[in-house]
Chains A and B, each alone.
Chain A
Amino acid sequence: MNQSASSSASGGGSILMIAIRASIAFILLCGIIYPLVSTGLAQLLFPHQANGSLIKNAEGQIVGSSLIGQSFTDPAYFQGRVSSIDYKAEASGSNNYAPSNPDMLKRTQDSIAAWQAANPDVPISQLPIALITNSGSGLDPHITPDSAKVQIPRISKLTGLPADTLEQLVHKHTEGRDLGVFGEPRVNVLELNIELSQLRK
């Protein structure tokens, strides 16, 4: 290669050409090939997880995803956390109330009043704060083990199931910390209620 060719290869014009070709190459590589290869491998190796960890009923209908919370209006079911989007999973979000926001204070006071009306046997000093606060995603599938236990008297009364049975059910669906250390113990509300609904039949 002669002198002039190598100096033109380092000029501004050729930098632009390389920049354009590099941009197109990386749009293809990182934007198309990478996600396609990832999806192919994921679907091949872990199809259940890759498709959203869906729960199906005996007829094969999709009941939901074990990762996504659902709204339960029937007080005979275990209730999940507050969700400003009412567990509508086509979107996600919360009100983003600041700790000083009077609307949040009011919402929480209303939740406490509603709790007292529905659970007259349980004093509010036992009501865990997680149950009356809005989750970050609005789709939190879990409640704390205590949040499940305090609902047992109400559900026992409404369903006629003995409290012992419900205790065992909650215990069975309580997941520990990951690897024994990470995160918090938790109860999956949908999985718990699916088994509860079978007991009610």
Chain B
Amino acid sequence: MDILQFLIVIGVLVLLVKPLGSYVYHVYSNEPNRTDRIFGWADRIIYRVIGLKNRSGMTWKKYALSFLLTNIVLVALSYLILRLQGGLPGNPNNIGGMEQTLSFNTVISFITNTNLQHYSGETGLSYFSQMAVIMMMMFTSAATGFSVAIAFIRGLTSKGTTIGNFFEDFVKSHTRIFLPLAVLVTLVLVALNVPQTFDPNITATTLEGATQSIAIGPVASLESIKHLGTNGGGFFGVNSAHPFENPNPLTNVIEILSMWALPAALPYAYGRFAKNRKQGWVVFSAMMTLFLVFLATVYTAELNGNPALNNLGVDASQGSMEGKEVRFGIAQSALFTAVTTAATTGTVNNMHDTLTPIGGLVPLAEMMLNVVFGGKGVGLVNMLMYAILGVFIAGLMVGRTPEFLGRKIEPREMRLIAIAILAHPFIILVPTAIAFLTDLGQGAITNPGFHGISQVLYEYTSSAANNGSGFEGLADNTPFWNITTGLVMLFGRYISMIAMLAVAGSLVRKQPVPETSGTFRTDNVLFTGILVGTVLIIGALTFLPAVVLGPIAEHLTLR
């Protein structure tokens, strides 16, 4: 039955890839299309409201400047709201202003699509902040990521000097993708019991006569965009493990598909842009291959359970249930864990800190690789970065100038790609080492032994990959953690985005090289293998030592 659940969900995903990928292509290809009739008016109103008169293409520098400025303004306004929320309306539970380093961490966390949460939603945010900051940034950060990914694809697949207009892409991402889907998913979730109200907390008199105060709020509207935008920040502290955020297995499946479908459809959209759909399927297959290995690993590890508990003589046949919910069991928990770190959403329906060591290694490894589907847009961009690296390595082996989609890959592009690829491990491993060297860092560790290493490593990996899940035992709401993870999230998001836009800006100007029989093909099974191999070799070379010290050492000592 467990395997059948996996197969159905993956099957539905694969069926969604083509229609959704085509739709995404139509939205951003800027060719007249029947969807214009439905959404064109909304776009035009917003263009007028924001004063966007000139929608001509931008060079990569102007595109980068536009998205950076927009993000900076959003950060500034959101920071003010969080600091002042105590005095603003929409605060029925009387929550005070947020502390400054925590506010810094929170706005960075949401604008970078990370959604690492060092606060607990039910006690740290007013309803107004949940809406105007958290929900709003869930849309805008996803739209930013999607727009940049599309601009990068344009750079790879078109000719000229420009890669699209950021503001046009940004507006269309909202009006044609995220807002309509979010309203739809919200209503489906409410129908399936997720609350959506502005009433303050409920007070109940329990069956035994005690008083139970139940936190509630506009949960469903956050839940839908949280997954659609691969954001992952929960309304409540425990995220999608909370019965109000995720009340039954059906909502679990809907949340999984919501976060997975768009990242999975993006490779197909890329194939459409490249006028070669096989290119898209090659990337998709590489992602799916890696995903299936990770899913099988976490599922088996959790099903086998924790040896320390299995030896106590109780009926442990169900598997490791610590930190999991009965309605999800092992299968739906394992699937959710594998998808949330693949799509770098960071929402959790079970506590990752309590996973068995090998089970916990899976989310960690997926975030370290950061290419298995990946978050809104950036996953595809990262995968294409590895594709170019793969072409480069293969080209070196046979002594040819490497080409990708008919463009010569030259030192300038390779330098930028090297920066982007090396930045990721650098901003994970260096802060992890710093945290271990200081009392400020070490003081936060709550689980003894090797697992403590995993906790710290996970926190920075999650920040760098803009995932946002955590080994949540870590006592991370301190200035040290707020500031260091804040910086890691910033670098993790913007270094690779800017580097990739620069690559796009450079490739778009190149004269296409005609395809010959000697051209190295990037649209066949062989290249899927090279892509997977490149990702695994780079990942293993970089992260194996750290992983051995954490989860693998814990696994070997657990009995």
Which A residues have a C-beta under 8 Å from some C-beta of B?
A: 6, 9-10, 12, 14-27, 29-32, 34-35, 37-39, 41-43, 45-46, 49-54, 61-65, 67-74, 77, 81, 87-102, 104-105, 108-109, 112, 124-130, 132-144, 146, 177-179, 181-184, 186, 190, 193-194, 197
B208: chain A residues at CB < 8 Å are: 70-74, 77
| Inter-subunit contact A135/B131 (CB<8 Å) | no
**What is the chain A residue whose CB lies nearest that of B138?**
A30
Q: How far is the CA of A45 from the CA of B187 in the complex (A)?
A: 9
| Inter-subunit contact A127/B314 (CB<8 Å) | yes
Stretch at the interface among B48-56, B398-406, B515-523: B48-56
B74: chain A residues at CB < 8 Å are: 23, 26-27
A74: chain B residues at CB < 8 Å are: 208
Q: Contacts A41-B187, A137-B241; is A6 near B54 (CB within 8 Å)?
A: yes
Chain B min CB distance to A51 (Å) = 5
Q: How far is the CA of A18 from the CA of B69 in the complex (A)?
A: 9
B459 beta carbon closer than 8 Å to chain A: no
| Inter-subunit contact B321/A38 (CB<8 Å) | no
| Inter-subunit contact B354/A67 (CB<8 Å) | no
Contact of A39 among B53, B197, B321, B348 (CB under 8 A): B197
Q: 0/1 per residue, B441-461, Cβ < 8 Å to A?
A: 000001111110011000000
Q: Contacts A22-B167, A136-B324, A140-B325; is A42 near B190 (CB within 8 Å)?
A: yes
| Inter-subunit contact A50/B195 (CB<8 Å) | yes
| Inter-subunit contact A100/B327 (CB<8 Å) | no
| Inter-subunit contact A99/B306 (CB<8 Å) | yes
- Which of chain B's residues 136-177 have a Cβ closer than 8 Å to chain A? 136, 138-140, 167, 170-171, 174
Q: Contacts A100-B557, A137-B238; is A50 near B473 (CB within 8 Å)?
A: no
| Inter-subunit contact B558/A100 (CB<8 Å) | yes
Q: 0/1 per residue, B236-247, Cβ < 8 Å to A?
A: 111001111001
| Inter-subunit contact A183/B354 (CB<8 Å) | no
| Inter-subunit contact B308/A54 (CB<8 Å) | no
| Inter-subunit contact B323/A94 (CB<8 Å) | yes
Q: How far is the CA of A49 from the CA of B247 in the complex (A)?
A: 11
Chain B min CB distance to A138 (Å) = 7
Contact of B318 among A16, A72, A128 (CB under 8 A): A128
B215: chain A residues at CB < 8 Å are: 89-92
Q: How far is the CA of A148 from the CA of B437 in the complex (A)?
A: 49
| Inter-subunit contact A94/B218 (CB<8 Å) | no
Q: 0/1 per residue, B522-559, Cβ < 8 Å to A?
A: 00000000000000000000000000000000100110
| Inter-subunit contact B204/A62 (CB<8 Å) | yes
B323: chain A residues at CB < 8 Å are: 94, 96-97, 133-136
Q: How far is the CA of A110 from the CA of B118 in the complex (A)?
A: 31
Q: How far is the CA of A42 from the CA of B355 in the complex (A)?
A: 35
| Inter-subunit contact B65/A96 (CB<8 Å) | no
| Inter-subunit contact A90/B122 (CB<8 Å) | yes
B192: chain A residues at CB < 8 Å are: 49
Q: Contacts A30-B179, A70-B212, A137-B238; is A18 near B167 (CB within 8 Å)?
A: yes
Q: Contacts A15-B69, A52-B214, A125-B314; is A92 near B446 (CB within 8 Å)?
A: no
- Which of chain B's residues 50-95 have a Cβ closer than 8 Å to chain A? 50-54, 56, 62, 65-66, 69-70, 72-74, 77
- Which of chain B's residues 230-286 have a Cβ closer than 8 Å to chain A? 236-238, 241-244, 247-250, 252-253
| Inter-subunit contact A134/B315 (CB<8 Å) | no
Chain B min CB distance to A148 (Å) = 11
**What is the chain A residue whose CB lies nearest that of B199?**
A51
B8 beta carbon closer than 8 Å to chain A: yes
| Inter-subunit contact A135/B354 (CB<8 Å) | no
Q: Contacts A90-B123, A96-B446, A138-B238; is A38 near B183 (CB within 8 Å)?
A: yes
Q: How far is the CA of A132 from the CA of B313 in the complex (A)?
A: 12
B14 beta carbon closer than 8 Å to chain A: no
Please give me the 10 A-B residue pairs with the lowest Cβ-Cβ distance, nearest first.
Answer: A183-B249, A96-B473, A31-B136, A136-B241, A184-B329, A31-B132, A42-B196, A98-B451, A182-B249, A98-B447
B422 beta carbon closer than 8 Å to chain A: no
Chain A min CB distance to B234 (Å) = 9
| Inter-subunit contact A88/B557 (CB<8 Å) | no
Chain A min CB distance to B249 (Å) = 2
Q: 0/1 per residue, B346-380, Cβ < 8 Å to A?
A: 00111101111100000000000000000000000
| Inter-subunit contact B66/A89 (CB<8 Å) | no
B38 beta carbon closer than 8 Å to chain A: no
Contact of A67 among B62, B196, B243, B449 (CB under 8 A): B243
| Inter-subunit contact B212/A87 (CB<8 Å) | yes
Contact of A89 among B197, B212, B349 (CB under 8 A): B212
